[in-house]
Amino acid sequence: MARGADPRWIISRLFNSGLIRPGTLLALARAWRASGANLVALARFGASTAQPPPMLIDEQGSVSLAGLAEEAERLAAILWHAHQVAPGEPIGILGENSVALVRALLAASRLGARAILLNPHLPAAQLAQLLDRHGIRVILAAHYTGGLAEFGRTVCDPDALRTSHSGPQPPLPRMRAGEIVVLTGGTTGLPKAARRKAGATSVLRLFLHLIAALQLERRRSVFVAVPLFHGFGLAALIMALALGRTAYLRRRFDAPAVAALIESEAIDTVAVVPTMLQRLLPHLGQRRTLRCIVSGGAPLAPQLAGQVRAQYGDVLFNLYGTSEAGLSLLATPGDLAIAPGTIGRPVWGAAVAIRDAADGIGALFIRNRASVSPGEWLGSGDLASRDSAGRLFLHGRVDDMILSGGENVSPWEVESILLTHPDIADVAAVGVPDPDYGQRLAVAVVAREGCRVEAAGLQDWLRPRIARHQVPRHIAVMPALPLTAIGKVDRKALGAQFS
């Protein structure tokens, strides 16, 4: 079992950073006294400790964090008095990344409600099932164009609701934060809920470790590219609020537009999933404003980590976590320089174990104080190994392993080998039925810009590098891999293309 980071280094690093000052705790106490321990208080705290005033910015405009807190307070009062939303009541938060969505989330937290973050890309019928499952009566839908009113729910545009009630609202009592519920990807069946307290002290160790390791006192702005309905995107937003950093949001990820935004606004930090990073790099060129790139939400290919290091130096961090266990491991630029494929070591408050290992590879289990079940070991569903320095490495999903001709075949292993081909930019492998072997791999590849690859040539290139039972039955060259809403490869959709 591997335990988390050395807390002495983290605390020492924080004191030396200047983030902990005599006035910091006083400012936090004032924010809590005004509204209770919730996300509105966190925004007030961040606004009071930073100069110039930090902002939240999207395509439609900007608002200071202080203004955001006041607007969320007003929205919460309207929900309390006009819609009788009570502490503990489930409330749906639905929409793309935007100021309006964040305002809705903060209002739900201010009320002590259970904020359930819904994926706006789900079909309406599946959303309706989730509303029934979680007993959601009121939905705050920001810039959402789908139809939900026919399912018998109160659907409110948070901006329209806030501006339609003129005049002052009666003040709200102080309330503690309710739960924030992040739903899993839902690639099979309905997404499942990962519930955790928004203001729980259990996440404090994680945030302190990230602040220390990422040297966030040196950062001034962050672009949160990951959807806020995903745990990684939510964590990046909350840290920006708490530290008083200007945060940029966009409803859609468009690589050329994001690169232009990073340059024009001199953004120094980005939070992305690997597919976003892969698409962003060609448009960034040699621009040097970026000082911190945080990748998470999906496996980071060693080749991509090496490309980032060659282009920008030691700026890349790799985060690993699950919806249930939370963010649990961190690979620093130093780790990635030595072992580009690593997911790093446990964060403060987390421990990991590898069970049922064969040849050093086994099922990864996590115990994390910031998980949905603090103190319990949770299976990640991933296969992992550990090197002599304690760094962990992924080897695909437990349920992705296929049996081909009586031999276990890991799609991840074949993907990793294909990614070393100089003309391949991206690859994904899935199991498909085979009359002779039971199952064989089918592989989709994306060529690098300006390169040409052919399936037959790739088969020949692979054969001396892998065992016979690992050779794919099909290789398809595609312009792009199918992706889920957060940028992971949609293996279910990919498998359907080969069936």
Residue 24 CA to residue 44 CA, distance in Å, equals 12
Mean pLDDT for the stretch of residues 387-404: 90
Taking only the tens place, the pLDDT of each residue in 216-241 is: 888 999 999 999 999 899 999 999 99
* pLDDT tier, 37 (very low <50, low <70, confident <90, very high otherwise): confident
Supply the CATH classification number for the domain 401-498. Answer: 3.30.300.30
The token pair at 197 is 């307290």
Residue 315 CA to residue 99 CA, distance in Å, equals 28
Residue 231 CA to residue 209 CA, distance in Å, equals 17
Backbone angles phi, psi at 5, to 5 degrees: -70, 165
Please give the single-letter amino acid code of residue 154.
T
Taking only the tens place, the pLDDT of each residue in 399-443 is: 888 888 778 888 988 999 999 999 999 999 999 888 777 888 999
DSSP H/E element including 484: none
Contact 230, 486 (CB under 8 A): yes
Cis ω for the linkage preceding 52 (within 30 of 0): yes
Residue 417 CA to residue 398 CA, distance in Å, equals 19
Instruction: Name the residue among 278, 294, 273, 302 with its Cα closest to residue 487.
Output: 273
Residue 276 CA to residue 297 CA, distance in Å, equals 11
Taking only the tens place, the pLDDT of each residue in 82-140 is: 889 999 999 999 999 999 999 999 999 999 999 999 998 888 888 888 899 999 999 99
Residue 70 CA to residue 366 CA, distance in Å, equals 39
Query: What confidence score (pLDDT) does residue 185 get?
Result: 59
Weakest-pLDDT range from 195-199, 270-274, 378-382: 195-199
Backbone angles phi, psi at 170, to 5 degrees: -60, 140
Residue 25 CA to residue 75 CA, distance in Å, equals 27
Strands (E), 126-225: 138-142, 154-156, 179-183, 193-197, 221-224
Instruction: Name the residue among 2, 22, 21 with its Cα closest to residue 353.
Output: 2
Contact 131, 153 (CB under 8 A): yes
The token pair at 423 is 């003309």
Asked if the model's pLDDT at residue 33 lies above 60, the reply is: yes
470: DSSP letter: G
The token pair at 416 is 């990793």
Say what the pTM is: 0.87
Query: What confidence score (pLDDT) does residue 388 get?
Result: 93
DSSP H/E element including 64: strand 61-64
Which residues are 61's β-sheet partners?
A: 58
Query: What confidence score (pLDDT) does residue 188 get?
Result: 44
Residue 70 CA to residue 418 CA, distance in Å, equals 52
Contact 231, 254 (CB under 8 A): no
Contact 471, 487 (CB under 8 A): no
Strands (E), 391-488: 392-397, 402-404, 407-409, 424-434, 438-447, 474-477
184: DSSP letter: P
Residue 46 CA to residue 69 CA, distance in Å, equals 10
